[in-house]
Amino acid sequence: MGIAIGDSTLWGKGIGYNSCLCMMDHASDRFGITIFHAETNETNMRASKMLERIGFKEVGRMGTEEYLGVETRLIQYRLSS
């Protein structure tokens, strides 16, 4: 699952949080999905905090990716409903 809010003036307004909840509700209701995975860069503290607030738990730190011009480690999350 991934969320990207490109316009930084919209960050911190709950759009990503509510989008995640809506996607998860739809996936659960429509398709019976009960396990969700998410990933973010370890320097993206906003995304990490959002995922943890939803209930995701960190399950690993594997791989790297360029984020804002810097190679950073990826954090994997999991949530079982």
19-50 residue pLDDT tens: 999 999 999 999 999 999 999 999 999 999 99
Residue 18: CATH number of its domain: 3.40.630.30
Comparing CA positions, the residue from 53, 52, 43 lying closest to residue 74 is 43
Residue 17 structural domain: 8-80
Mean pLDDT for all residues in the chain: 93
Residue 16 neighbours by CB under 8 Å, 6+ apart: 3, 5, 47, 50
58 lies in some domain: yes
**Number of structural domains the chain divides into:** 1
Residue 3 is assigned to a structural domain of this protein: no
pLDDT at 1 over 70: no
> Is 41 a domain residue?
yes
Tell whether 35 is covered by a domain: yes
Beta strands (DSSP E) in the chain are: 35-41, 57-60, 64-67, 70-80
Residue 47 domain flag: yes
Closest CA to 11 of 50, 69, 57: 50
DSSP 3-state of 67: strand
Residue 1 lies in a domain: no
